Amino acid sequence: MGQTERAWRIALMPGDGIGPEVMAATRQVLEALPEPALDLVELEWPSHAWHRRHGTMMPEDWTDRVSAFDALLLGALGDPGPASDPGRYLLPDGVSLAPLLQLRKGLDLWACERPASPLPGAPQYLADQRALETDMLVIRENSEGEYVDQGGRLAPGTPRETATQLEVFTRAGTERIIRHAFERAEQRRRERVAGLRAPRAAAAGGYDAAVCVVTKRNAVQYAGELWSDVFAEVAAEYPAVHTHHELIDACCMKFVTQPWQFDVVVASNLHGDILTDLAAVLAGGMGVAPSANVNPSDRSVPALFEPTHGSAPDIAGQDRAHPAAMMLTAAAMLEWLGADDAQAASAAVEVREAVAAEMLQYGMEGRTCSQVGTSVCERIRSSVRRG
Footprint of ligand IPM (CB under 6 A):
97, 100, 273, 308
φ/ψ of 145, rounded to 5, equals: 65, -130
What span, in angstroms and rounded, lies between the C-alpha atoms of 177 and 143?
10
For the bound state, the minimum distance from the C-beta of residue 97 to ligand IPM, rounded and expressed in Å, comes to 4
Between 114 and 189, CB nearer to ligand IPM: 114
Taking only Cα atoms into account, the Rg of the chain, rounded to an integer number of angstroms, comes to 21
Between 139 and 235, CB nearer to ligand IPM: 139
What is the number of the residue whose Cβ is closest to Mn ion?
A: 273
Region of 356 on the Ramachandran plot (φ > 0 left; ψ -120 to 50 alpha; else beta): alpha
Q: How many CB atoms lie within 10 A of CB 65?
A: 14
Residue 194's Cβ-count burial label (10 Å; 0-12, 13-18, 19+) is exposed
For the bound state, the minimum distance from the C-beta of residue 294 to ligand IPM, rounded and expressed in Å, comes to 14
Between 146 and 186, CB nearer to ligand IPM: 146
What angle, 0 to 180 degrees and rounded to 10, lies between the N-to-C axes of helices 342-362 and 324-337? 160
Using DSSP's 3-state secondary structure scheme, residue 287 falls into helix
Residue 266 binds: one of ligand IPM, Mn ion, none (C-beta under 5 to 8 A by kind): none
Residue 79 binds: one of Mn ion, ligand IPM, none (C-beta under 5 to 8 A by kind): none
**Strand ranges (DSSP E) for the chain?**
8-15, 38-42, 71-76, 111-116, 136-141, 151-154, 162-165, 210-215, 242-247, 264-267, 292-294, 303-305
For the bound state, the minimum distance from the C-beta of residue 289 to Mn ion, rounded and expressed in Å, comes to 10
Residue 282 binds: one of Mn ion, ligand IPM, none (C-beta under 5 to 8 A by kind): none
What span, in angstroms and rounded, lies between the C-alpha atoms of 338 and 348?
8
Between 330 and 354, CB nearer to ligand IPM: 330
For the bound state, the minimum distance from the C-beta of residue 310 to ligand IPM, rounded and expressed in Å, comes to 6
CA distances from 174 to 135, 139, 177, 227, 288 (A): 24, 12, 5, 6, 29
For the bound state, the minimum distance from the C-beta of residue 269 to ligand IPM, rounded and expressed in Å, comes to 7
Residue 138 binds: one of ligand IPM, Mn ion, none (C-beta under 5 to 8 A by kind): none
**21 near 317, Cβ under 8 Å?**
yes
Between 235 and 325, CB nearer to ligand IPM: 325
Residue 100 binds: one of ligand IPM, Mn ion, none (C-beta under 5 to 8 A by kind): ligand IPM
Any idea how long the chain is?
A: 387
Closest to 142 (Cα-Cα) out of 254, 11, 276, 272: 272
Residue 246 binds: one of Mn ion, ligand IPM, none (C-beta under 5 to 8 A by kind): none
For the bound state, the minimum distance from the C-beta of residue 316 to Mn ion, rounded and expressed in Å, comes to 19
Strands 111-116 and 136-141: antiparallel
Between 96 and 243, CB nearer to ligand IPM: 96
**262 near 200, Cβ under 8 Å?**
no
Q: Could you tell me which stretch among 81-89, 160-168, 267-275, 353-361 binds Mn ion (CB under 5 A)?
A: 267-275
Between 108 and 353, CB nearer to ligand IPM: 108
Residue 97 binds: one of Mn ion, ligand IPM, none (C-beta under 5 to 8 A by kind): ligand IPM
Q: Could you tell me which stretch among 126-134, 225-233, 269-277, 280-288 binds Mn ion (CB under 5 A)?
A: 269-277
**Is residue 273 within the footprint of Mn ion (CB under 5 A)?**
yes
For the bound state, the minimum distance from the C-beta of residue 96 to ligand IPM, rounded and expressed in Å, comes to 9
Give CB contacts under 8 A, 24+ apart, made by 41-45: 41/9, 41/10, 41/11, 41/12, 41/69, 42/11, 42/12, 42/14, 43/11, 43/12, 43/13, 45/13, 45/99
For the bound state, the minimum distance from the C-beta of residue 317 to ligand IPM, rounded and expressed in Å, comes to 20
Q: Could you tell me which stretch among 121-129, 138-146, 236-244, 272-280 binds Mn ion (CB under 5 A)?
A: 272-280
Residues near Mn ion, by CB under 5 A: 273
